[in-house]
Copies of this chain bind each other. A is one copy, B any other.
Amino acid sequence: MANFMNQKNEIIKKLRSSGLRPTQQRVLIAKSLFDSDKTFHFTVETLNKKINKNGANKVSLATIYNTVEAFTCAGYLKEILTSKNKSYYDTNIKSHHHFYDEGSKELTDIHHSQIKLSKVPIPPKGKKIKNLEVVIRIQK
C-alpha cells in the first residue's frame, strides 16, 4: 500500500516537473505505461484498449492522443521509426535499437550493448545529435 502510494506520488511529481497538471486521466495513463519495470511498444489503439478495457470508458480517445503526445514531448516516451502509417511508441526511452521483421511487421528491442559503432558522422552545422538508432530489417 505504501508502495502503491509512492508510485502515485512519483508519477505526480514527474508530471509536475514537466509542467503537466497531474489530472486523473494523466495519472491513470502514466500508471499503465510506467508502472512495470518492463518496457514495451504500443500504439494509441492498443493503449486505448488497455485503459478502457471491458467497455469501461475511463479516458476518451482524444485524451489518450493528447497525453501520449505530451508524454513524448516531455521525453517519457519515444516515437518509433517504422514504415507503417500509424504511430508506434516505446516506453523504453534509453538508447537502444530494433529488429524490424518485414514479414510479421513486428519490432523487437536490441539492447544498446549489442551494437557498437566505430564511426559516426559529424552532424550538419548548428545541429546536435540527439539520438542514434539502428534498425535491422530481417526476413526469413
Residues of A in contact with B (beta carbons under 8 Å apart): 79-83, 85-87, 99-102, 108, 110, 114-121, 123-124, 126-140
Contacts and interface: CB of A to CB of B under 8 A. Distances in A.
Contacts of A121: 99, 110, 114-115, 136
Contact of A138 (B81, B82, B127): B127
Contacts of A110: 121
A115 B121 CA distance: 6
B134 A134 contact: yes
A39 B4 CA distance: 55
21 contacts: A79-B83, A81-B81, A81-B100, A81-B135, A83-B87, A85-B87, A114-B120, A114-B121, A115-B117, A115-B120, A115-B121, A118-B118, A127-B139, A128-B139, A129-B137, A129-B138, A132-B134, A132-B137, A133-B136, A134-B134, A135-B135
Contact of A85 (B86, B108, B130): B86
Contacts of A135: 81, 132-135
